[in-house]
Structure 1
Amino acid sequence: MLSYVSATVVAAAVLGALSARFGGKFDVAPVLVLCALGVLSANLAKPRVASRVDFSFLSIILLAGAVVVGPLGTWVVGAVSMSLDRSPNVRWYQVAFNAAMGSLIGAGGAWAYLLVGGAADVGGLMGLNALGLNVGIPLIIADIVQCLINASLLSGVIHVSTGAPVRVLARQILVSSGTAYIGYGVIGFLFVILWFPAKLGAFSAVLILAPLLVARWAFVQYGEELRSHERTLETLVTTLSRKDADAVARSRVTAQLAEWVAEELALTPAQIGTVRYAGALREIGLIGVPWRVLHRPPELLGDPERRVLSGHPQVGARLIEGIDFLEDARSGIQHQDERFDGTGRPDGLAGADIPPAARIIAVAGEFVDLTQPRRGVPPLAPEVALARIADDAGRFDPRAVRAIADVLERHGWAVSVEGSQL
């Protein structure tokens, strides 16, 4: 981690030196205005709109800074704004990385703007054609460059911390934040027009701030909706824990493993979320299984009791019916016992007709079941469990089997007497 942070800081220092030497004029007053806005943005509570994406004004400020204050000014704005983030429990090397990342994004976008012919003196430009060609299009390029730098640096640091594949992380970040960067580009262009052709200068920040606060409020509402989904999920899991605490532990680990597999298969962020929900609620149908059946040793179960126990996926699907955000996950839960060759339950679906979430949690759930001690049955070693899954021809999606082997090699797997742990 420290090596990655150090490399990022060195890269930022080099770009800062180049910006100071070749980046043109440095106007203190507008830099101070943009720094103040950047610090405000960095220290406002950020509504989280995806697992790794926050809504922040800073990207807009850095993009406008490419035109307003040039490479060196934007380098300073990015470094100052990110280094003065007052988030709790932030360690020194995190501050260093954030400051370096802010300066790289800011100066990188500013250099991209200049290198593709962006106008350094916007005040004399008049008319939409001139502004579009000399400011708008170069700003689009700068916006793309900033988006790519952001995704590259974030995916790199997450990879160093967790071992998750860079290409998957970068893709997730780009898909999640790409739409936001389109909005950043539009607002950044408006910021520049108000600052120069409209001759409002620093007052343009006031006009820009109002709609940004409205947008932030909308993102807060969306974030609250996502947190409401998590609370609903936790309530369902808590209900299951009162019936079978071990099932909850298995489901939580299955959810994490299934999420890794979904990332390895390059599913979209929405699909990955569906897989995680389906994994977490994989055994929710056990709520409907009588206690005497659920906790009786398997060898003592009669055929009717086995049918009740094996039908828990369909019970689980019925239990969460009507919960809109779990609708896609519901089909994954319902069809987790389908076989890839079409001979499974409940509908005999085959191949790609089986929902992706069902195919993934089938593999992840089986691996967790095999590697966790259950009712006196000793766990298998991970490599033995993987071999058994691979040898069960026709049951699992071959792509999911290969993906789980890859993610386990990358992340590792440990089993304790309390159950499987990642």
Structure 2
Amino acid sequence: MNLHPIRLVILLCFALLLNGKTQAQLTANADAVLPTEYSSGPQDQMYFFCSSPGENPASLTAAFSGGGGATFDWFKYNPASGTFDAYVSDNSGATSSTLTILPDGGYRVNVTSGGITETYTAWVFNNWYTATAEISETTCDYFQVQAVFEGVSLVYYDLGTGSPKEIFKDVKVRWTVGGDQVATVLSPQIFNPPPRNTDYLLTVYDRLGCEVQVPLNYQSIVTKASFTASPMSGETPLQVAFTSTSENADQYEWFFFRDLDEMKLEAEQTGSVSDSIMDRAIDANPVYVYQNSGTYGVKLVTTKNSEFGACTDTVYLDDYLVADSSFVEAPNVFTPNGDGDNDLFVVKYRSLKQISIKIFNRWGKEVFAWENNNVQSFDASVAESVWDGKIGGRLASPGVYYYVVEARGRDDKKRNAHGFVHLFREK
């Protein structure tokens, strides 16, 4: 008798059902699923449930492949005998049977409906970890973490040979701060510790999706020095405000260096610099006045005191402060005609200690004079320092006048200037 190929397939499937050898699987809402690796024969599913010690969230659900009510006879694998022992029976006639709070092991169920028995086998595992962590040593340069973890070994058995097979979980660790990874070893040595109290998080995890997390708080004993300076340049006397933006500091020590060119000259002449420090301060936010022209560096050292000692940090100003060199400049023409434009003869200067301004007419008679032996800064609003084109309250005649400026800069250099200035009154 010749059978149609489709009918042959149907008959073979029906025969398998009758013999209880269907390959349908038990189901479970597990965190991970892997197949067994028996030495031979069909493979079963292994279901992994993430848990805590003493908890058994593992569960299995069986149902008849054809639907409808059935009876369920459950068995549990016995490693000692290599057989499945009766575990529990469910004769309620329900369409499915679920076992919960299952301990680790292999489970088999015979599902019978309408005289047909289907047999399913699966393994379940309650997978967990515990961990602890503490700081065992802390210094200004690093702190040492000591951490340990414990996890459960997961073992199933080859149903063909009865030999145990341990499941490779590929356990790993990572340390993070704010989500950023900082280490991948269990007990790291953290160098350059942060200058603030910081929460670290240890995560122990595996390829099965299970993990345990342990927080660790680092109480900082270090400081981070930083500061700003404003302004960075200007005429002497140059007043500069220094503002500390340091973290975790108890003490501040500022070092104001001498003029860079001055130190270079000393090194060239003597072969060394006797002392690079011009001044010191211990305020958190000092204000320093540079009396002399030059190019200056600044250093800040902060200190954090704790039971473990004193930790310091040092930072230098990114760029040099520039106190302008002395300078004198006079115009060669002015027009005191009352139109508000160029009405005054103004000698511009900067970074001076002393200045004397004199103006003479063509016959050598002095028509204007002003001097200052304690110059603080250029200020054209001081009426006495500028010539308004009048002599004795009367308008000076248009023409050529001669000016003489004698000054000494805060760099201690003479800054003299002389020349002719033309006075015009036409609008």
Same fold (TM over 0.5): no
Of the two structures, which has the highest relative contact order with CA contacts closer than 8 Å and spacing of 6 or more? Answer: 1
TM interval, short-chain normalised: under 0.3
Normalization by structure 2: what TM-score? 0.22
- Rg larger in 1 or in 2? 2
**In proportion to residue count, which structure has more helix?**
1
